[in-house]
Amino acid sequence: MRDSGGKALLELIRSWPHATACRVAFSGGIDSTVLLHLLVRVQSELPGPISAIHVNHGLHDRSHSWDRHCQTVCQAWGVEYASYRVDARPVRGHSPEEWARTLRYGLLERLLAPGELLLTAHHQDDQVETLVLQLCRGAGPAGLAGMQAWRPFGAGGHGRPLLAWRRGEIEAYAARHQLQWLEDPSNADGRPDRNFVRLELLPLLRTRWPGAGATFSRAAELQAEANAVLGEIAAQDLAACRGDAPNRLRLAGLAAISWPRQANVLRHWLASLSLPAPARSHVGEMRQQLFASRPDASPRVAWPGAEVRRFANELWAGSPLPPRDTRDRVSWCLREPCNLAHGRLSARPVAGRGLRQSALTGDNIEVRFRRGGEAILPVADRHHRRLKKLLHQARIPPWLRGRLPLLFLGDRLVAAADLWLEATMAASDSEPGWEITWHDNAVCAGD
What structural domains does the chain harbor? 4-208 (3.40.50.620), 223-318 (1.20.59.20), 329-440 (no CATH)
CA pair distance 106, 52, nearest whole angstrom? 16
CA distances to 32, 56, 83, 184 from 61, in Å: 21, 11, 17, 12
The helix (run of H) or strand (run of E) holding residue 127 is helix 124-136
**pLDDT for the residue numbered 30:** 95
Concatenated DSSP letters for 39-77? HHHTGGGSSS-EEEEEEE---STTHHHHHHHHHHHHHHH
CB-CB contact of 371 with 441 (8 Å):
no
What tens-digit pLDDT sequence spans the chain (447 residues)?
Answer: 455 567 777 877 777 778 889 999 999 999 999 999 999 998 888 888 999 999 988 767 777 889 999 999 999 999 999 999 887 776 666 666 777 888 899 999 999 999 999 999 999 999 999 999 999 988 889 889 999 888 889 999 999 999 989 999 999 999 999 999 998 877 778 888 888 998 899 899 889 999 888 899 899 999 999 999 999 999 999 999 999 889 999 999 999 999 999 999 999 999 999 899 998 899 999 988 888 777 777 899 999 999 999 998 899 999 888 888 888 889 999 999 999 988 899 999 999 999 999 888 777 799 999 988 899 999 888 889 999 999 989 888 888 898 999 999 988 999 999 999 999 999 988 899 999 999 987 744 344
Q: What is the pLDDT of residue 7?
A: 74
Q: Which amino acid is at 51?
A: S
Give, in degrees to the nearest 5, the angle at Cα 87 between 86 and 88: 100
pLDDT of residue 346: 94
R_g (Cα) of the chain, nearest Å: 29
